[in-house]
A and B are shown apart, each in its own frame.
Chain A
């Protein structure tokens, strides 16, 4: 456990010193901040726009950070041979891998937390203005266009689900890092993420009613079964409709994410076990 912790801390510190990632964070916060002024783009749907930009940024930039951090984790260590002085200490490969994973996860989550705070601040100030407007039965553009029930709670939960989503994505990119060079690993990770976002689409493609042949059905069903369903972590609809998302529902989502992450890290370990360093 000590070993995992030490490696994780070292990874965390190293990650925070990467200028590239810090730049992404700064950019993300700027974009979120800019939504303050962009509400004119969708008159009558200002709240929705704020949420779109805010949550969208968190997910998009979180994705960039998770992938670019994760894909270099293992391959860099092997290329630069820094791994040699670590694996010759009493650290098993599993401990090393987990330490790298947790270290990069902590980095990703701390970045998301910062973005989440920025978003919350923008929303609390700017959003409240539009919500106040909408409470009167005024003309068409006076309403906020979306339901404001449970909105703050739902936004917090949505950010929480982003945490889980990025945990799964970090696992994917770490796994890719154990298998490929960092460029291939990055392409692989983005591919898995985007396909995972449209998992339902693949499921619908597999529907024989669409005229898909048997081979096609097999392929699409296989993709649907294997790829992590990243779309599941999206709470946009719930926020817009003002649905109450209970803790049990949230728990199911979190549980699913953790199972995904465990599974993927297991595959990563199996791949890393025998890799020549």
Chain B
């Protein structure tokens, strides 16, 4: 397995890949939970898994479990204690974190009574107890409702703005796209594509997309000839043109014929597209 990833400090990095691609293994290796069969790894010039390294990282696992007989304060106190924190400094930090994740009012509730959202929040809080430079988050938005997902994304951006490096692992590409600065796509243990979001999504492809509805007297044949691609879904027709002029011309024609322009704009690729391409390419090798 040849895995080389470049992560810039103070950014949000996303590691994506289908199930079985080696995401979890990579993450566990980086966290020092499992040991490589060969070779070594360093982060911050520190060996992976060493206590000094662990002092500088935080980790929110997927679907986290905690000692369920504790409440939020006790739980964070336990984790803080593992860093040697104690006394007033620890309690201050706990308060700060609970406010940050919005759990301060519910701090007396025992973990066994938490909802999924609350578990994620407290999970993030424990990941940040030591004010880490590098935070690993595994599927942080999975299982959350939309408002909670937004909240989580906002928190991650906040962390980035504080100068921390956020390492995300997810398969929810729609969530990753808006916040990640760079991404690596993993398939079968190999990095297929890597780079900043802008690079990967390729800017403007030059193509234009036109989506219309209605319109009588339209010659579908002529439209099909002029466009790169034509799809009919019920009342709607979606077309792809090679350039802006062709698209405008077609739009004018349809409008003159009584049709409605639903959408006209430059075609950009989504992360999903890049992902599918990369994984498919990987399959061919």
Asked if A82 contacts B82 (CB within 8 A), the reply is no
Residue of A nearest to B56 (CB): A90
Asked if B69 contacts A14 (CB within 8 A), the reply is yes
Residues on B with C-beta less than 8 A from A277 are 33-34
* Other-chain residue from A10, A84, A276 in contact with B61 (beta carbon distance below 8 A): A84
Residues on A with C-beta less than 8 A from B69 are 13-14, 17
When chains A and B are docked, how far (Å) is the Cα of A23 from the Cα of B239?
A: 72
When chains A and B are docked, how far (Å) is the Cα of A87 from the Cα of B58?
A: 11
Residues on B with C-beta less than 8 A from A10 are 67, 78
When chains A and B are docked, how far (Å) is the Cα of A10 from the Cα of B69?
A: 10
Within 8 A of A (CB), among B45-72: 51-52, 54-55, 57-59, 61, 63-67, 69
Within 8 A of B (CB), among A38-84: 80-82, 84
Chain A positions 12 through 42: 1 when the CB is less than 8 Å from some CB of chain B, otherwise 0: 0110010000000000000000000000000
Asked if A88 contacts B51 (CB within 8 A), the reply is no
Asked if B59 contacts A84 (CB within 8 A), the reply is yes
* A216 → B minimal CB distance (Å): 42
Asked if B82 contacts A90 (CB within 8 A), the reply is yes
Residues on B with C-beta less than 8 A from A6 are 78, 81-82
Asked if B79 contacts A85 (CB within 8 A), the reply is yes
When chains A and B are docked, how far (Å) is the Cα of A104 from the Cα of B128?
A: 29
Residues on A with C-beta less than 8 A from B35 are 274
Asked if B33 contacts A85 (CB within 8 A), the reply is no
Residues on B with C-beta less than 8 A from A276 are 34
Asked if B82 contacts A86 (CB within 8 A), the reply is yes
Asked if A91 contacts B82 (CB within 8 A), the reply is yes
A240 within 8 A of B: no
When chains A and B are docked, how far (Å) is the Cα of A92 from the Cα of B58?
A: 16
Interface centre among A3, A13, A88, A277 (most CB of B within 10 A): A88
B84 within 8 A of A: yes
* A81 → B minimal CB distance (Å): 5
Asked if B61 contacts A81 (CB within 8 A), the reply is yes
Asked if B32 contacts A89 (CB within 8 A), the reply is no
The contact sample of 9 A-B pairs, CB cut-off 8 A, is A2-B81, A2-B82, A6-B81, A82-B66, A87-B32, A87-B33, A88-B57, A90-B52, A277-B33
Which residues of A are at the interface with B, using a C-beta cutoff of 8 A?
2-3, 6-7, 10, 13-14, 17, 80-82, 84-92, 274, 276-277
Further 14 A-B residue pairs, CB within 8 A, beyond A86-B82, A88-B57:
A2-B82, A3-B82, A10-B67, A81-B65, A82-B67, A85-B59, A85-B61, A85-B123, A87-B32, A88-B31, A89-B79, A91-B54, A92-B51, A277-B34
